[in-house]
Structure 1
């Protein structure tokens, strides 16, 4: 090949090109986006709407349903889900994979705008947003100190603006803080005395707190702006607000109300490691680099610490980049160990440090070149792409080994340095290109597979492909050039120090003897192979299946739910009991962040009956138990706390499809769905491995329903809206205006005294002002009923829905879902009610189906490439018989290691389709060469087998040993690649053994068949 000739004759030019590639690679590596997993681009949009004070039923009827109907007609929508809670509606629109979400969002906004006028006047404007399930905070920062209001001011005025100016930071939100407001506490007896109502007070306050422009006047050659100053400048101004009574008298606001600047009613509490705190969560920009954003935040935190008041501390609560760094470091270490293993194998076989150095130099250059290709194709540096590089370490050297061994053989025949390099590389370059192509084409179908499997593994496939392409180019350019400079003398093969050669000769003799036997007993060999495959298939029930292997990230979530309607103080008391139960685990807990009353739905409400723990354990290598084991012990400990429903689960970051077990019940009636969901939860509890099954049907929220008698109210000159507004103001308060004080804006809020708005009796006797100014109790024009109302209402595709979900522990997802399916089939579903299975189970089945199609297509492509290479249809067919035997290694490997068949393992199976044929290609190709030289068929097989055993062993061992560190699951985040490495190690090893013995037998059978076919055609010709 001219490429080889040029590289040998112009080594300086090759050095310059290599230097440029290495420099570009380091620049690319520096600018690559680093993340934990590949970005999963799911086309999901959300429409959120607030409707303060409304019950879930009203939200569903007046907000959710109209918007659902409007957006359901948009083309490309896969499903429409809605959730209606007190005061808020959230609608999730899932589009078909590959949909253009930017165009879809425009259509959603148009449809929502069409129905906006039909929504209640008091409802907020619907917000249409792109939903990113991976957009979790990069970092949580805790701010601690004595005064909660001061901390809130520091966070909002000083920290948030400063942090949001850092590179890559999109937004910073604050949780657990408390602000101040100006409370105007109305005195009911004074209101009655002066004939005033809340509406007139709001109007008076709002009118008094206004400034306006009144034009301009001229003074000399200048124009002066006329501005009428009327805004409040002090609390005294608010107190002196003039209020006109119906009789025309003018009084001050302080005559009828108590005005004070107070702390707002607290709706959430944040506690970090036992200390009350304000927590700031930092979100990165969509294209931001997680690690770089974290580094920028570290610098910003150190810079701002000096400006904080005495007694105020700022510390990092959680940093998601830590696990990313540890995971990437682990993969890099595994790559290093794998490269060392490969180098030792090369040194053992090649018997030369210089020859090993030639191969060793090619590995880092191929890796650096891969980084360049990753950068220009927009890939991120994550544990899957880095794992792809680690998996490719062994495969990278295959092409170089074949080229180098041929160069060495010519060198031993007495060729000069340059001639041996040129002839040896040129002779095998076409074969190397063909064998690399068979490995590359197996990844092509993965790129075209749709769904989450493609989103995650296309980057892996591209990375390995880039690595193989780079290593191929290196093998036909750099390897010949380095060989012409470093292999200064022929390799010696005599002497005691080459004990390994004598060992290989003995192995060759044993292999030749066994090969004679299998050629003699061909049928026995075939049946033995079929028997081995059948026995391995019997292991399938014991292996099981799962979606994606969970990484031990050391994060545990505890959700504490007290009875619906419980106030914040009572929930906090329960949290203190849970903390006591957690005290024995302090040695393994690094950080404990508790949010009480947070987690508001859609950002519009808070749940005072809920507390969420986020626990970070100490690193995996510093504890003796796994996260799952610790989670189980914590679950047993906190489950005994009375008065609360507590769910403990292990947290995972971003590669799953929701809960492992998720059952969606659909039907017309909410009450029936709630009963069915309770039955399903009961059935799931009987299944081994199911952990904390729960229903989305929450306990009913205590409600007081006010049924206004509109005709009776009309007799008093009252409308429905007037009664409603007076009740809302009395119990929720009403913001009249905003007051600027020392650079801060405070709400001026009208409220009733707390002792007049705390009981049902206060509600019944609430004074309602009539059109004449008279006061009547609310129960005069309304009937009050106390009921249990739903907390939230779910709908999917405009039909009511209820979800049952569960985690799994110590068992594979596939076998659990078989039992779940059996339990659901035994459930007597009423007419009109159905169930579907979602979550990870649905994603697993969908991914397995699509990857199966990809595997079939990959096998076809491998055959097509070999047919082109051999210019023959028969010999590639012989080689394809190395694939069925791979099943033995795959299933035995998963069974021995106790790993279920996951989609990462399935990708390993697809990779094997392109890898295992390479050994058979080498063997069959050399058999044909010897036969063309005049050797008889069996003689050619017996000579070709032992002759090709050495390169087959070399390429197989370098690939297998290069993956050993990954297969052992060393380091953080290694669980994702472990099944893939196990499948390739066992599959390739077992396939190599079958290739060396089975392929020669199949070759003889198909050769006999071809002779018979040719003989039949010859007979036909003679007869004719």
Structure 2
């Protein structure tokens, strides 16, 4: 090959190119973004609408259904799900994978704008957002001190602006502080005495608290702008505000209300048992988690120096820690793998110079890979680094084969340059073919759709870059270095004579076995088939799962008391949970909890509930605890279940890969009551399934509701409209913000409220005096009727049909087995007509991913054959080589069974990789058999000679690939769980396949060679 000749003739040019690649690679590494996983661009859009104080049924009827109908006609929509709860509506739109979400969002906004005018006046403007599971806070920072009000002010005025100026930060939210508020506590008796209504008070306050421009006036040769400033500057101004009664008299606000300068009830936020303000940091969509975290940490150091002595900033949870640990573990595994590969090379080559020649291909290929990763805008994450670690052993395969042949020519007496040229040129086509077969298996992954493609396309690109770089090194740098360094390569030496003797005996043993299999060809074929079929029997015992979750050491505890429970009761139960958690002080590093905070349960709508508490728990490093995160989760869950009066759920925090729970059963039908009954039945049925953990339904929670039906005719007789009645009831029981006034640069809400002891009971509601515009009052019970009932806290619809969701975690069993058992339970249930069930969540994602990857595997196998057919310019020999593939199932299923590892999509990627790897040894073997036969050897002698002479490079390439993956296969370090199934699949699959290649492929070769001769004979007779 010309490339080989040029590299030997011009070593200086090759060295300069290598140095340039190294320099470029170093620059690229410094600028590469680091993350846990590749960005998953799920085509999901969200429409959120706030509808304050509206019941779920009202939200569904007046908001959710109109929006749902408008969106249903948009092209590319797969499912539309609406969630209607008290005060808010959420519409989730799942588009088909591959949909351009930017264009889809424009259509969504246009459709929402068309129905915006049909929504209730009190409903807020719909927000159309792009949903991204990766867009969660990456850090929580605690601001601790003695005074919550001071902490809130410091957080908003100093910390938030500083953090938001840092690179990559999208937004910073403050939680747990106290907001100052001015409450005007109205005296109903005084209002009645003076004939004032709440509407009059609100109107007067908003009109007085105004400022305006009034033109300009000349003063000398200048114009002065005229500004009338009537805004409030103090609480005293509000107290002194004059109100005019219907009789023409004037009274002050303080005459009819108690003005309280107080703080809003924002709930309680605790960090390790102490009150604090917590700031959650969101990164930009193109931001890098590790970089943003580092920027925030640097900013915290500066802020801590300028903050008061009694105030301190500390990290509560930093998700980048797990990312750094995971990347560090992968790099460590790569170093060990590389060391193992070099030891194998040294053992076989018996020369430090020869080992150095091949070993140089590893760092150069890695550096070149980093450069290509940088220019394709991929990130360094657990999967791409894992792909690099998996490809580490394969990087030296091409170099080993080339070097082995160069040394063979050198030992035949050729000069160093001639040996380098002849040895590299002779096997370069076979090396290119074997590398190309490994590369093409990744091509279908790039083109399949779904989460599997989103996750593994970066991995595929990384392995492809590494192999391309190693191939170029093998046919350029290796010949050049060999022509300069291999003066006495592989000379016999006493220190390693034991290994030569062992290898000689091994070759002789192999030659004897090879002679036997060639003699008993039918027995060999039959035995191989029995072993392959027998391995398939292991499939039911292996199980399946979506993707292994790394031990991130994070837990979430959700405490939810029945809707309507007082805040005091929720706090009391939360304190009991805190007491239970104290027993885990040795494994809990940070315990961050929000109690009775709207933010605690706040969703994308910004709503929340005061009957909830949310715990975020960070465990100590895995090296400092004996239990896994899952074991700690189960132990805590068992302890807190003894606490009565609340629904307490403990779950582990994993990577945001799927939008659903592990198990999500969807019940669809026309009637909500029937769906609720069916949901209870389903929960009862699946609770007995091994692996089902904490099954819950979306309608478990109901809210006690008192419906007020205003009699419009009676209300009209008293000069009242339904909207006036509604407004006065809302003001009396929930309060109403009427304006804001600015003091010392802060905007402070001013709210109208009534005394707490006047809004505690149903009697207070019934006797509430409703006032008309003339000042006449009438009790509410005179113009309205009351009905108490239990209503669902959330109403869910999917594709314009009522839906109830049953969700469950999976613990102690694999996802596939649990899914199968649940499907059997559901099939045994008799559902009323018009009601259906389906399984979604991660179980559905797993099935879709397996389907996509199965198609990718079939295409990969076809591409491998096509590449070999082109390379050999023959259809027969590639077909012979393909027989090395079926034997891999023995290693794949045997390895997964022995290591008790379920088949996941990462293991499936390992299977696809094997399709390109296992044929490499067969290519080298068959190609050399053909070379020897062309030199005049008989078929039998050529097979024996090729088998024994190619044993050395086959063992070297196989052992370097396998041993380089052993650290990953052992799952050492944080985050290794994700790549472990992939490594196990390749290690066992390649090991078993290599044995079958050395024994079965020669037998297959003889059969097809006989068939080829018969066909040729028939053609000759026909002529």
Tell me if TM exceeds 0.5. yes
Q: Smaller-chain TM-score range? A: over 0.9
In the alignment, is the contact (CA less than 8 A) between 1:447 and 1:454 conserved in 2? yes
Match of 2:588 in 1: 589
Quote the offset at 1:490 in angstroms: 4.2
Matches within 5 A, 1:370-519: 370-493=369-492, 495=494, 497-519=496-518
Alpha-carbon distance between aligned partners in 2 of 1:604 and 1:5, rounded to the nearest angstrom = 68
Partner of 2:234: 234
Q: Is 2:133–2:659's contact at 8 Å kept on the other side of the alignment?
A: no
Q: Secondary structure at the match of 1:794?
A: strand
Is contact 1:85–1:601 with CA below 8 Å preserved after alignment?
no
**SS of 1:460 mapped into structure 2:** helix
**1:1017 aligned residue:** 1019
**How far, CA to CA, are the matches of 1:514 and 1:765 in structure 2?**
100
Asked if the contact 1:138/1:321 (under 8 Å) is kept, the reply is yes
Residue 2 to residue 1014, structure 1, CA distance change in 2 (3 Å): closer
- 1:396-795 equivalences under 5 Å are 396-493=395-492, 495=494, 497-597=496-596, 598-795=600-797
Q: Distance in 1 between the 2:48 and 2:701 partners?
A: 24
C-alpha displacement of 1:2: 2.2
Query: SS in structure 1 opposite 2:483?
Result: helix
In structure 1, the residue corresponding to 2:496 is in which secondary structure?
coil
Count of equivalent residues:
1020
Q: Which residue of 2 aligns with 1:892?
A: 894
1:105 and 2:105 are equivalent in the alignment: yes
Alpha carbons of structure 1 residues 985 and 468: separation in structure 2 relative to 1, 3 Å: same
Deviates most, 337-346 or 28-37? 28-37
Structure 1 portions without partners, runs of 5+: none
* 1:3-22 alignment, distance < 5 Å: 3-22=3-22
Find out whether 1:304 has 2:303 as its counterpart: yes
Confirm or deny: 8 A CA contact 2:353 2:489 kept in the other structure: no
Which residue of the partner structure matches residue 923 of structure 1? Answer: 925
- Residue 354 of structure 2 corresponds to 355
- Deviation (angstroms), 1:11: 2.0
CA deviation string 1:798-819 (max 9, x = no partner): 1111100111111111111111
Question: How much has 1:605 moved relative to structure 2?
Answer: 2.5
Per-residue deviation at 1:657? 4.6
Distance 1:296 1:670 in 2: 50
Match of 1:46 in 2: 46
Residue 688 of structure 1, CA deviation: 1.2
Moved over 6 A (4+): none
Task: State the alpha-carbon separation in 2 of the partners of residues 14 and 572 from structure 1.
Answer: 72
Whether contact under 8 Å (1:885, 1:994) holds in the other structure is: yes
Q: Counterpart of 2:604 in 1: which secondary structure?
A: helix
Question: What are the equivalent positions in structure 2 for 1:960-999 lying under 5 Å apart?
Answer: 960-999=962-1001
Structure 2 vs 1, CA of residues 895 and 932 (structure 1 numbering), >3 Å: closer, same or farther?
same
Give the whole-Å Cα distance in 2 for the aligned partners of 1:602 and 1:952.
57
Q: Deviations over 1:934-965 (max 9, x none)?
A: 22221211111111111110100000000000
In 2, Cα distance between equivalents of 1:317 and 1:15: 50
C-alpha contact (below 8 Å) 1:89/1:602 kept by paired residues: no
Measured against aligned partners, the alpha-carbon deviations of 1:224-272 in whole angstroms (never above 9, x if no partner) come to 1000111111112111112111111222211211112111133x32111
In 1, Cα distance between equivalents of 2:167 and 2:710: 56
In the TM superposition, what whole-angstrom CA distance separates every residue of 1:503-528 from its partner, at most 9, and x where no partner exists? 11111110111111111111110110
8 Å CA contact 2:662–2:809 kept in 1: the answer is yes
CA–CA separation in structure 1 for the residues paired with 2:419 and 2:934: 24
Q: Tell me, in whole angstroms, the C-alpha distance in 2 between the residues paired with 1:821 and 1:432.
A: 49
For 1:431-479, what per-residue CA distance to the aligned partner results, in whole angstroms no more than 9, with x for missing partners? 2111110100000001111000000011110000000001111111111
C-alpha separation between the residues in 2 aligned to 1:497 and 1:148?
Answer: 73
1:88–1:602 CA contact under 8 A, matched in 2: no
- For 2:560 and 2:755, the matched residues in 1 are separated by 30
What are the residue-to-residue correspondences of 1:193-232 with 2, within 5 Å? 193-232=193-232
* Aligned counterparts of 1:128 and 1:156: Cα–Cα separation in 2: 27
Specify the SS of the correspondent of 2:396: helix
* 1:907 and 2:909 matched: yes
Q: In 2, Cα distance between the equivalents of 1:143 and 1:490? A: 66
User: Which digits, 9 at most, give the CA deviation of each residue in 1:811-846, with x for residues without a partner?
Assistant: 111111111011000111111110111011111111
Q: Deviations over 1:695-751 (max 9, x none)?
A: 111321011111101100011111111111111111111212111111111011111
Aligned counterparts of 1:657 and 1:120: Cα–Cα separation in 2: 31
CA contact under 8 A between 2:686 and 2:692: conserved in structure 1?
yes
Shift of 1:414: 2.5
1:771, distance to aligned residue in structure 2 (A): 4.0
Structure 1 residues 1012-1021 or 12-21, which shifts more? 1012-1021
Q: Which runs of 5+ in 2 are unaligned?
A: none
Matched, 1:161 2:161: yes
State which drifts further: 83-92 or 137-146.
Answer: 137-146
- Distance (whole Å) between structure 1 residues aligned to residue 887 and residue 48 of structure 2: 55
Whether 1:1005 aligns to 2:993 is no
Shift of 1:146: 2.0
TM-score, normalising length from structure 2?
A: 0.98
Q: Kindly indicate whether residue 327 of structure 2 is the aligned counterpart of residue 328 of structure 1.
A: yes
Cα offsets for 1:835-865 (capped at 9, x unmatched):
1110111111111111111111111111111
Aligned to 2:313: 314
User: What is the Cα deviation at residue 783 of structure 1?
Assistant: 1.1
Is the 8 Å Cα contact of residues 564 and 701 (structure 1) preserved in structure 2? yes
Provide the C-alpha distance between the structure 1 equivalents of 2:50 and 2:129, rounded to a whole number of angstroms. 14
Answer yes or no: is the 8 Å Cα contact 1:555–1:650 preserved in 2.
yes
CA contact (8 A) 1:45 1:128 kept: yes
**2:817 — aligned with what?**
815
The whole-number CA distance in structure 2 between the counterparts of 1:819 and 1:241 is 70
